Amino acid sequence: MSWAGWASPAWLGALGLLAVPIAVHLLSRGRQRRVRVGSVRWLAPAATARARRLRLARRGLLALRCLVLALVAAALAGPRLTFPAGPGARDWVLVAPEVAAERGRLEAANREPYARLDALLAGGAPLRWLAPGAGAGELATPPPAPAADSWSLVQEASRAAPPAVAFEVFALDRAASLRGARPQIDRQVVWHAVVDPAPNRWIERAVPLAGSRLAVFVGESDPAGTRYRRLDVAAGAAARDGELEVAVEDGPEGRRAFVIGGGSLAADDALAVPQREPPGAAILFAAERAADAAYVQAGLEAVRDSGAVALGAVRPLALGAAAAEPSRQDLGGPEPAALVFWLSPDPVPAALRESVTAGGVLVSDQLARSEPCDCVVRPLAGGLPVRFDRRGDPDPPLAAAAALWEDRHGRPLLEAERLGDGAWLRLHSRFHPAWTDLVLSPAFPAWLLELASDASPAASARIAPSDRRAAPDQATPRRAAAGAAAPDAPGAQTGRWLWLGAAALLALERRVAAGTPA
């Protein structure tokens, strides 16, 4: 039998409770209550043998109480004892296949784990692969097993191993293989983390931009941390940022393939990024609203350039040059426009309204009457406040509109109405600094981004499986808690004996305390 630590060492903090009986003992010893009596002539100082016996009994009681508390704390902490295994039983050496396969690349940075592995194998310890369904094998011929969850593999091996056999695990310290809850393993596990010194890169997200360009977000992870970089790449071309190089190629079935180069090569990822240009935005404006249109255009282009949403070209169209009855399909270029702004005192054409029912967002600032207004709204919940100086009411009012923004009197500033799969937003003001600070505020592009996100298709349908490095504390498996151990586990039996001992000592303490004056 040998000592193997504690299952829940935090409970050892309960030993601090020992201070309580000790303090009570010291206080009761040092404090003498004064009693006024008629005469002390019959009293003799208690320097008697009985008093000495009492003092000794109290010290014994104190020791008993401390022992009970210590036993309870130890039982809660769950001592782990390992018992000698049967004859012939040896500790298992569990090795992740990539540790063996990439030894040439990894050994320089991990000399200690590999030296330990070699020493174990030279000592005759049986080697087992940390892989699904894999058993014993030779280090030189690792099985072609895919990367899997190391926790569950260790748990699977624990179920297969005889009791009291300890594990020594050699695995890469990547977070991707350490997902999920840590298992409760009732045996000693020594974990050797093999560090991969090469940075790992992956495509986190790709967002189509206008002109068949893409904003590619590349994740980069190494033991120092995880970072993201953005590269704007044209389809079929490559872009470079320092040592990082990303190439975008046309893939099958409307997908694009990304090749990450520079430094060490990493695996390519395929994302379902549409190869066509994403739907854009159109701004239809009357001649007197040209300034309004310029503000809206600037906001939309800022949204598009951010790459946060797939938004195509932004097309401003003066109403004189546009079709008499424009529709959403006519305005977006290859794709119907996702966002259409109607900035004109004239009513929104019926054809345009109808075209929105198939999807997209129509925004108008149509006003019939205007009046001064002194109110502040927050376009986005928790965002910056925006001031409105003038407002007006549309004519006729929307039938089934819901007010999104209201002034202090409850009058709407922005109303929304669903039109089939699309929506019609009506601003009771104008996109002009003389009417509102909205167009000058950082809240404006943020609000437009939200509109574009609602109106645009997803940028990429699948996030690439990333392989971030493990945090340092992830690399150490948690030891099994006492409560989770199997009922017949040696550790649990030790805890049971501790509880029994504590109960017996408590009974003894009660008995001694009953016979000992306070």
Partner 1 sequence: MTRSVPQSRFLAPATLAAIHDLRLVARRVVEGFLAGEHVDRRPGAGIEFSQYRGFEPGDDPRTIDWRAYARSDRFYVREAEVERDITVRLVLDATASMAHEDGGVRKLDYGRMLTAALAYLADRQGDRVSFHAVLDGTTADLPARRGRRGLRRVLHRLEGIAPSGAWPPWETLGRRITNVREKELVVVVGDLYDRGPEMRRGLATLRTLGHEVLVLHLMARNELDFTYRGDLAFEDLETGAIVRGNAEAMRPGYLERLGASLERWRVELLEAGVTYELLALDRPLDLALRSFLLRRGRLP
# binding residues, partner 1 (CB under 8 A) = 25
Told to check if 44 binds partner 1 by CB under 8 A, we report yes
**Position among 10, 108, 514, 518 found at the interface with partner 1 (CB under 8 A):** 518
**Position among 19, 23, 51, 119 found at the interface with partner 1 (CB under 8 A):** 51
**Position among 38, 87, 104, 252 found at the interface with partner 1 (CB under 8 A):** 38
Tell me whether residue 57 or residue 166 sits nearer to partner 1 (CB atom).
Answer: 57
Least separation in angstroms between CB 24 and partner 1: 13
Tell me whether residue 275 or residue 516 sits nearer to partner 1 (CB atom).
Answer: 516
Alpha helices in 392-467 (DSSP H): 443-455
Told to check if 476 binds partner 1 by CB under 8 A, we report no
Task: Give the single-character DSSP code of 226.
Answer: E
Least separation in angstroms between CB 516 and partner 1: 9
**Position among 27, 46, 140, 287 found at the interface with partner 1 (CB under 8 A):** 46
Task: Give the single-character DSSP code of 179.
Answer: -
Q: Which two tokens stand for residue 216?
A: 């590619």
DSSP labels for 65-123? HHHHHHHHHHHHH-EEEE-PPPTT---EEEE-HHHHHTHHHHGGG-HHHHHHHHHHHHT
Nearest to 220 by CA among 205, 206, 232, 203: 203
Distance separating alpha carbons of residues 187 and 491, to the nearest angstrom: 9
Told to check if 27 binds partner 1 by CB under 8 A, we report no
DSSP labels for 118-156? HHHHHTTPPEEESSTT--B--TTS---PPP--HHHHHHH
61, 517 contact by CB (below 8 A): no
Distance separating alpha carbons of residues 342 and 419, to the nearest angstrom: 16
Tell me whether residue 320 or residue 517 sits nearer to partner 1 (CB atom).
Answer: 517
**Position among 2, 10, 27, 34 found at the interface with partner 1 (CB under 8 A):** 34
3-state secondary structure of 485: coil
Told to check if 517 binds partner 1 by CB under 8 A, we report yes
DSSP labels for 352-376? HHHHHTTS-EEEE---SEEEEEEEE
- The residues, ordered by sequence, that sit 6+ positions from 224 with a Cβ below 8 Å of its Cβ are none
120, 93 contact by CB (below 8 A): yes
Tell me whether residue 38 or residue 88 sits nearer to partner 1 (CB atom).
Answer: 38
Told to check if 108 binds partner 1 by CB under 8 A, we report no
Told to check if 515 binds partner 1 by CB under 8 A, we report no
**Position among 3, 42, 242, 372 found at the interface with partner 1 (CB under 8 A):** 42
Least separation in angstroms between CB 514 and partner 1: 13
Considering only 45-53, 130-138, 246-254, 303-311, which stretch makes contact with partner 1 by CB under 8 A?
A: 45-53
Least separation in angstroms between CB 482 and partner 1: 40
Residue at token pair 């993201």: 228
Distance separating alpha carbons of residues 292 and 294, to the nearest angstrom: 5
Considering only 44-52, 66-74, 315-323, 367-375, which stretch makes contact with partner 1 by CB under 8 A?
A: 44-52
**Position among 2, 3, 10, 45 found at the interface with partner 1 (CB under 8 A):** 45
**Position among 2, 10, 27, 35 found at the interface with partner 1 (CB under 8 A):** 35
Least separation in angstroms between CB 37 and partner 1: 5
Least separation in angstroms between CB 63 and partner 1: 19
Told to check if 54 binds partner 1 by CB under 8 A, we report yes
Told to check if 141 binds partner 1 by CB under 8 A, we report no
Considering only 33-41, 133-141, 232-240, 392-400, which stretch makes contact with partner 1 by CB under 8 A?
A: 33-41
- Count Cβ atoms within 10 A of the Cβ of residue 152 and give its class: 0-12 exposed, 13-18 middle, 19 or more buried: middle
Q: Which two tokens stand for residue 436?
A: 């509102």
Told to check if 33 binds partner 1 by CB under 8 A, we report yes
Told to check if 514 binds partner 1 by CB under 8 A, we report no
107, 73 contact by CB (below 8 A): no
Told to check if 29 binds partner 1 by CB under 8 A, we report yes
Question: Torsions phi, psi of 344, nearest 5?
Answer: -160, 150
3-state secondary structure of 246: strand
**Position among 37, 224, 287, 399 found at the interface with partner 1 (CB under 8 A):** 37
Tell me whether residue 55 or residue 276 sits nearer to partner 1 (CB atom).
Answer: 55
Tell me whether residue 50 or residue 409 sits nearer to partner 1 (CB atom).
Answer: 50
Interacting residues toward partner 1 by CB under 8 A: 28-29, 31-48, 50-51, 54, 517-518
